[in-house]
Amino acid sequence: MKQLYLIALLFISSLAFAQESQGNGDIDGFKLYPNPTTNGKVFIVTSQNAPKKVLIFDVLGTQVLQTTILGKEINVSNLDKGVYILRVFEKDKVATRKLIIK
């Protein structure tokens, strides 16, 4: 029985460490607009306004767009209408949001 408790404690400890080491969390001042979008353009604003690597995935997890932006605007006019997952990397921070294209 003591071995079971030890294994459970090690498992919980490893989960806590894994979550802590995944990064520093969300990007400060992150704003995504308009969402939903109808005009084929999406704007991403952050506090640091540094270059951003942007990945967009469809609902099946397939990457449909990868780009790096220096400003705020992303052209999504080549994507079909639907729901997507947007992942933005800025320096050591990551933000993930749902993006709807109508």
Does 39 have pLDDT greater than 70?
Answer: yes
Cα separation, 71 vs 65, whole angstroms: 17
Tell me the one-letter amino acid at 82. G
60 vs 16, higher pLDDT: 60
Confirm if 82 and 65 have CB atoms less than 8 A apart.
no
Give the domains, in start order, of the chain with CATH numbers. Answer: 26-101 (2.60.40.3080)
The pLDDT of residue 7? 57
- The pTM score is 0.74
